[in-house]
Structure 1
Amino acid sequence: LRFEGDGPLEKIIVEAESNGMVRGYVKVPHVDLPLKNGKFDVSGALGDSGLLTVVKDLRLKEPYTGMVELYTGEIGEDLAFYLTESEQIPSAVGLGVSLDTDGGVSAAGGFLIQSFPPYQKETVDGLIDQIQEISSITEMISEGKTPEQLLDILFSGIPFDILEERPLAFQCSCSKERVEKALIALGREEIEAMISRQKETTVTCEFCRESYQLTREELEQLVEHMLPSSGEKGALH
């Protein structure tokens, strides 16, 4: 997911894998805005004008990419708008996050509910009414409500079955090998410029802030294994 808005936060990037690994970052993390109706002013930070881009790896030749304009600047509302408008799946999304006194995340969670045909209109209407009447997701998460308890509240009076449980965790997939591939993608000239400027190059992952150092010798080895650029005679071995 990529949220790009006209607010001071500028951009939010989130990547999630099917195994429950999640990572993400914001372009300008140190944004301090006053509370809005007692809640974090997400739309004020992200902005209400911009784009939401969704990229899905469906194991096809090319990833699926969908894009819509930001609807409100609220993450949950914009996701629901995208799913309903772009993917034509009626959806309800609720998100909540609680911070501790030093600004760290003490609890976070949410729900995504989608209706697929065939379905009973009465059931969907009842679920919509129930969602509109529930208290703040942030409050319930802060109180320690489990996912199962959230389901009981959301589907009050509506029978449901739990088909699968899967743990979620922040885990970054960065590595020195991926850093080297990213540098190679920049091209020979850019790497040679790095070699001429400094003895060692440091690359920091935007997701987890892990830093990777590459010596001049390592950069030279990358250049040696690259194909010659267009117009360059000879070949490197």
Structure 2
Amino acid sequence: MYRDLDAQTREDLRLYFQDRDYMVVSVPKDELIRVYTLQANHAVAVAKRIHNLEGQRAELMGYAIMSALLLTSLVKHATEQKVLFKVQTDSGVVVSEADGKGRVRGFIEGDPQEGWVSGVLTVVKELRLGVPYTSIVPVVGRNLKEALSFYFEQSEQTKTYLDMHLEFTSAGAQAKAYLVQVLSGVSQRSIDLIEENLRNLSFLGKRPEEIAIEILKDMEPRLIGLKEVEYYCPCSEEIARSSLMLLQEEELQDILNEGPAEVVCKFCKRVYRFSREQLML
């Protein structure tokens, strides 16, 4: 099923999503090209607030959030299949995770500033029945956008174009992105047209469907998928308790001798505390 990305569809999307975050999946009428366009303003702002980030560390977290959401193009749409995105450098690590339903979370440790000399980019995607598939490539490029582009070139072997725009303001964040995948058999004329449209593209003031229309200009764009995006962490007391039970009994007893055992979720900073009685020790 699809809908033409015409004026009525644009108005319907504007009225439905209003200022919420979402992703649009679109295709041209006659070519094997997929376009994913994203607005993640609130998700990026929430990540910045939860982790109390400023400056370049806030930007890096924002780009990681958008990277994970773009990588959900690799899993089945509207499912709980997850993709994990991780960049590890000598000075720190940034991690983000998103699923096919548009739920995303992330954290940053240390100071993995862009402009790195060396590092590793890891993508773990869930396949059917939750089986993970891991791809590891060196971090190549001056920033996360270039590093993610290199990943697609090396690991997915699909002609891919992507870009991300991030700006923090007093009102929050402006976070927009696109990913274009050109499958085999696409005519050179269509590739040239896509590349010309991308050169003329501006993110400013545009919603995801408007970005998609510009990318697919003169190609009769059609809407084939939608998903709302939100910063969401599924951690729970049960998960936190289970993590403590993985410790050696002697180590756990030492912790409890000093007071309640405490678990802090890296993704949302939620704190869970457990007494000896709660752990039945």
Q: Is the shorter-chain TM-score for this pair beyond 0.5, marking a shared fold? A: yes
**Are the equivalent residues in 2 in contact too, given 1:49–1:73 (CA < 8 A)?**
no
1:70-105: per-residue Cα shift (whole Å, max 9, x none)?
11142222112111111211111111112124xx84
Deviations 1:167-191 (A, max 9, x none): 0000111111111121222333332
2:238 is aligned to 177
Report whether the alignment pairs 1:168 with 2:252.
Answer: no
2:152 to 77, 83, 87: 83
CA deviation string 1:130-179 (max 9, x = no partner)? 223334x4xx1xx3x11011112222222221101110000111111111
In structure 2, relative to structure 1, the CA distance for the partners of 1:73 and 1:2 (3 Å cut) is farther
Between 92-101 and 64-73, the greater mean CA deviation after superposition: 92-101
By percentage of residues, which structure has more strand?
A: 2
Q: 2:181 aligns with which of 114, 120, 126?
A: 114
Q: 1:48 to 1:147 in 2, by over 3 A?
A: farther
Query: Which structure 1 residue ranges, 4+ long, deviate > 3 Å from structure 2?
Result: none
Question: Which amino acid in structure 1 is aligned with residue 88 of structure 2?
Answer: E
Deviation per CA, 1:86-132, whole angstroms, max 9, x where unpaired? 1211111111112124xx84221201111112311221222123223
Counterpart of 2:253, as a letter, is E
Structure 2 letter corresponding to 1:49 = S
1:23 aligns with 2:96: no
TM-fit CA distance, 1:24: 0.8
Percent identical among aligned pairs is 27
For structure 2, list consecutive stretches of 5 or more residues without a partner in the other structure.
1-84
Distance 1:73 1:212 in 2: 38
Contact residue 97 and residue 105 of structure 1 kept, 8 A: no
Q: Deviations over 1:39-87 (max 9, x none)?
A: xxx623xx24201100001124730000100111422221121111112
Higher relative contact order (CA 8 A, sep 6+): 2
After superposition, the C-alpha distances for 1:205-237 in whole angstroms (9 at most, x for unaligned) are 111111111112223x2x5xxxxxxxxxxxxxx
Code of the aligned partner of 1:204: V
Match of 2:252 in 1: 191
What CA RMSD, in Å, does the superposition of the two structures yield over aligned residues? Answer: 2.1
Which 5+ residue runs of structure 1 have no aligned equivalent? Answer: 32-41, 224-237
Distance 1:185 1:124, change over 3 A: farther
Identify the residue that residue 3 of structure 1 maps to in structure 2: 87
- Determine the C-alpha separation between the residues in 1 that align with 2:211 and 2:244: 45
Q: Equivalent residue of 1:84, what SS?
A: helix
* TM-score under structure 2 length normalisation: 0.64
Question: In structure 2, what is the Cα distance between the partners aligned to 1:5 and 1:157?
Answer: 42
Which is further off, 120-129 or 145-154? 120-129
Show the 5 A alignment for 1:1-237: 1-6=85-90, 10-28=92-110, 43-44=114-115, 47-60=116-129, 62-101=131-170, 105-135=172-202, 137=203, 140=204, 143=205, 145-196=206-257, 198-219=258-279, 221=280
- Larger radius of gyration between Structure 1 and Structure 2: 1
> Compared with structure 1, are the counterparts of its residues 48 and 159 closer, same or farther at alpha carbon in structure 2 (3 Å cutoff)?
farther
Taking structure 1 as the reference length, the TM-score comes to: 0.75
